[in-house]
Structure 1
Amino acid sequence: MMALNNRYDFVLLFDVKDGNPNGDPDAGNLPRMDAETGRGLVTDVSLKRKVRNFVGIVKGEQPPFEIYVKEKAILNKQHERAYQGIGAADLLGGEDKKRKGGDKVAEARDWMCKNFYDVRTFGAVMSTGVNCGQVRGPVQLTFARSADPVVAQEHSITRMAVATEAEAEKQSGDNRTMGRKFTIPYGLYVAHGFVSAYLANQTGFGEEDLKLLWQAFINMFEHDRSAARGEMAARGLYVFKHDSELGNAPAYQLFERIKIQKNSEIPARAFSDYKVTVDDTGLQGVTLQRLVG
């Protein structure tokens, strides 16, 4: 795989209509929100989950594109695979050796990077069970924040069935179960991201991996449908490619070139209610790639 020789900074725009893009389990699954400004939030972890799921679909969970953090995964079992893969299965026996991994930790870490896409992309702490070390990922994401304040709406929903005979008897055969569902009418979210060529060359994240990452950001919402998330779609992916590994401009200056303005004072209910402008003039040592938008 070709090594990465350029730094990248990028902006991802996505929206949601009549859905909950990222519920907070500590708040009854209400949409996440900045308490001071009322703007919606989507965590970086939520976005990475969608990338992982997309890569798993496209690559069929086969090396070198396996997914380390996935549903129902037992992470320590993956660590044991690494030691088996490097021919050091003898270190899996004994509590002391199991914890330390002997002098094979670096080898095991490299094996994990080679085989698991999300490890070499986002990094991982793999020191539980048999020690596979820690990896600092070259791709980092911020929380996504909505362009304007959002309003969480609560909806009563009814299921025309009950779970037990006792419930049915209590309702004299009416058999209804009441519930709650939370949505926001519309939100346009902005996330910022960074790709370090230096860290990429440490983990083996290469050009093919980068191409797959862009593909995931563009298409991940198309394969993440659910009643809770409503209509979600990528609306913009703006990639700033630096001419060097070190970079040719501060990321914040590049991000400030993308402006989002609402077309009117009424609450937005569609992407067409916004105007997105990108200033690509005067860029020196940086090329703007509009993959979406």
Structure 2
Amino acid sequence: MSEAIKNRYDFVVLFDVENGNPNGDPDNGNAPRVDLDTGHGIVTDVCLKRKIRNYVETVKENEAGYQIYIKEGVPLNAKDAQAFAELSVDEKKIPALKKDDPSLDGKIRDFMCSRFFDIRTFGAVMTTFVKANLNCGQVRGPVQFGFAKSVDPIVPQSLTITRVAITTEKDAEKKKTEMGRKEIVPYGLYRAEGYVSANLARKVTGFSEADLELLWEAILNMFEHDRSAARGKMAVRELIIFKHDSELGNASAHKLFDSVVVKRKDSEMQPRCYGDYEVEIQEEKIPEGVTCIRKN
């Protein structure tokens, strides 16, 4: 494994959606997620992580060290079993093996982190190891996201759609079209905030500089290979990175986030594109020991 990163990072991601549903709520007819008190749109952290996983899987194509642990259609315990097989560990004899080799937990954890990019990045709960009484079953990753929230309240729309293809022959005798609905946000600019812990990278997963560059690339391009009619036009507009000069950081994350101000150019007009906003970095709020990097 490459050497772990040595600097802490905090970051802000600005992305938008046009005539699409960025993250449907299955408990609400798959309508766009909304904070019921404020009307602001919400996109969950797991939704954003899924996009990043998909991008890495697409560009790396199972390259060694960049496999994805959490993916559709592959049971997790099958991947956990790879560690047992390659390290010649008999799952039924783990208590005895741990007595002979106290470092067994660390070996299994390091194997999983070295093989799977998303474990190295986000961490994971590996149930097979938890049930086997191994201390490596829960890995805390150095990269964490909060929920994304729209800069302004959104007004979701439910549109009626029709199709001429009828599902059954019986229905075709009665009608020529079928009705459906499509849930969209006409326009919304969303802001997500995240954290990269060099301390956890060094102590736990070995998240490296190469991993970090791939993470930034994946964030900037996470919608480029994830197109669908349901999601409309989605794009990452800007990635604002705060690099600390030290492993533990030189400023509080919330103070750095406060230095990023996003506001409408015309407060009277309903925003319908990214150009309706301006993004300001209040550099006087950024202390010594922290460098601001803007990517788009």
Q: What CA distance in whole angstroms lies between the structure 2 residues aligned with 1:102 and 1:232?
A: 50
Which residue identity is paired with 1:270? C
Q: 2:163 aligns with which of 148, 159, 164?
A: 159
Q: What CA distance in whole angstroms lies between the structure 2 residues aligned with 1:228 and 1:117?
A: 28
The range that moved more, 130-139 or 203-212, is 130-139
Q: For residues 245 and 155 of structure 1, do their structure 2 counterparts lie closer, same or farther at Cα, with a shift above 3 Å needed?
A: same
What residue is the counterpart of 1:260 in the other structure? 262
Give 1:170 shift: 3.1
Q: 1:272 aligns with which of 267, 275, 283?
A: 275
Q: TM-score, normalised by structure 2?
A: 0.92
What residue is the counterpart of 1:210 in the other structure? 212
What residue is the counterpart of 1:123 in the other structure? 123
SS of structure 2 residue aligned to 1:222: coil
Q: TM-score, normalised by structure 1?
A: 0.93
1:186 aligns with 2:190: no
Q: What CA distance in whole angstroms lies between the structure 2 residues aligned with 1:237 and 1:245?
A: 21
What residue is the counterpart of 1:110 in the other structure? 110
Q: For residues 248 and 101 of structure 1, do their structure 2 counterparts lie closer, same or farther at Cα, with a shift above 3 Å needed?
A: farther
SS of structure 1 residue aligned to 2:167: coil
Q: For residues 102 and 157 of structure 1, do their structure 2 counterparts lie closer, same or farther at Cα, with a shift above 3 Å needed?
A: farther
Query: Any unmatched runs of 5+ in structure 1?
Result: none
Q: What CA distance in whole angstroms lies between the structure 1 residues aligned with 2:79 and 2:63?
A: 14
Q: How many residues align?
A: 283
Residues 50-89 of structure 1: pairs in structure 2 closer than 5 A: 50-88=51-89
What residue is the counterpart of 2:248 in the other structure? 246
Check the 8 A contact 2:3/2:206 in 1, yes or no.
no
1:15 aligns with 2:16: yes
Query: Any unmatched runs of 5+ in structure 2?
Result: 99-103
1:170 aligns with 2:174: yes
Give 1:34 shift: 0.4
Q: What CA distance in whole angstroms lies between the structure 2 residues aligned with 1:145 and 1:28?
A: 20
Q: What CA distance in whole angstroms lies between the structure 2 residues aligned with 1:158 and 1:105?
A: 56
Cα RMSD between the aligned structures? Answer: 1.6
1:137-187 deviation per Cα after TM superposition (whole angstroms, max 9, x unaligned): 00000000000000010011111112222221233xx2x221111001100
SS of structure 2 residue aligned to 1:224: coil
What residue is the counterpart of 1:42 in the other structure? 43
